[in-house]
Amino acid sequence: MNTIWILVGITAIAGVGGTGMGGVIACLFRKDSDKTVSLLLSFAAGVMTSVVCFDLLTEALHPDGAETGVWPVIGGVIVGFAVIALLNALIDRSTNHEVEHIDENHPRTADSLEELTHANHLREHREGRQPRSGLFLAGLVMAAAIALHNVPEGMVIGASFARTADSLLSNRGGLIMALVIGLHNIPEGMAVAVPLISGGMSKVHSVCVTALSGAPTILGAVMGFLIGTISPTALVLSLSFASGAMLYVVFGELLPESILMWKSKLPATFTVLGMLTGLLIIYL
């Protein structure tokens, strides 16, 4: 029981704390934050790539030193990747109506922090082109979508810790994964809080709602942990699913957003630095 509570505490910091921090940053939003967020996302992507390639997948292929077939691992990766991709497609479909003021020639991906967080809605509202209620509803839709999205991300944390069920705090891979998912949740929290604040909700209440959207991460972590401790086969599948989910987050979300937000060589440099940092933490 103590193990589960430790897992819940770690995941709460990553899920609730990460999105809540995004809400706080949204209250202090600055237009010149693009470069900082771009480098943050790039670094987190690099660390996450190291954890997936040199920790999760390695353990999935050789659980407890034994050999396992490569096909179950590939299958788990594909399923994990597909699940996160599907959830992101649903989020995009739910939130596309929020940006009707962007013309048909504008790219659908975010190329600035304002577009990533839908902060441009505030400007449209001030100019009388967006109803205040629409902004508030957009924030609630985003909160619900992010909450759903956080369940499989929580399963990643739980699966990472399932390898060392007796001593969670000694599992570097699990702790690193919780940290990078927490970093990943910061811009998601901003995307929830900005339209809520613009729609008339107080900053305190907006931060609270934003933080609550990260709570399902805890449910996912407990599910991933319990599934991973059922049997060696379940652990292999759980780790493979987690790897696929994180590969989509890296290559489908973090890197595209970071590069579009700052068209420079530095995001790539910070990605490599993140990978090297991940290696150091895993193997030292």
Q: What Cα–Cα distance (Å) separates residue 54 from each residue in 138, 253, 281? A: 39, 21, 11
d(CA 247, CA 81): 7
CB atoms within 10 A of CB 66: 9
Q: Which domain holds residue 170?
A: 2-283
What is the crossing angle of helices 132-161 and 216-228, to 10°? Answer: 20
d(CA 66, CA 131): 60
Question: Which of these, 83, 86, 111, 81, lies nearest to 99 by C-alpha position?
Answer: 111
Phi first, then psi: give them for residue 115, nearest 5 degrees: -75, -35
CA 34 to chain centre: 18
Q: What Cα–Cα distance (Å) separates residue 247 from each residue in 78, 229, 238? A: 10, 23, 14
d(CA 184, CA 42): 10
- Cβ burial 202-241 (10 Å sphere, 16+ → b, else e): eeeebbebbbbbbbbbbbbbbbbbbbbbeeeeebbbbbbb
- Tell me what pLDDT residue 32 has: 52
138, amino acid identity? A
- Tell me what pLDDT residue 265 has: 87
d(CA 178, CA 50): 14
CA 118 to chain centre: 17
The per-residue pLDDT of the chain, averaged, comes to: 81
d(CA 40, CA 186): 10
- Tell me what pLDDT residue 111 has: 54
Spatial neighbors of 73 by CB under 8 A, at least 6 apart, are 57, 60, 61, 236, 240, 243
Q: Which residues of the chain fall below pLDDT 50?
A: 97-102, 121-122, 125-126
Phi first, then psi: give them for residue 124, nearest 5 degrees: -65, -40
Question: Which of these, 235, 204, 186, lies nearest to 22 by C-alpha position?
Answer: 186
Domain count of the chain?
1
- Tell me what pLDDT residue 272 has: 95
Structure tokens of 250?
């890296």
For 213-231, give the DSSP string.
TTTHHHHHHHHHHHHHTT-
Phi first, then psi: give them for residue 111, nearest 5 degrees: -115, 15
- Tell me what pLDDT residue 253 has: 83
**Residues present in the chain in total:** 284
| Residues 78-117 pLDDT 10s | 999 999 888 878 776 665 544 444 455 555 555 555 555 5
| Residues 213-224 pLDDT 10s | 999 999 999 999
Question: Would you call 31 exposed, middle or buried from its count of C-beta atoms within 10 A (0-12, 13-18, 19+)?
Answer: exposed
Question: Would you call 30 exposed, middle or buried from its count of C-beta atoms within 10 A (0-12, 13-18, 19+)?
Answer: exposed
Helix (H, G, I), strand (E, B) or coil at 18: helix
User: How much is the pTM?
Assistant: 0.77
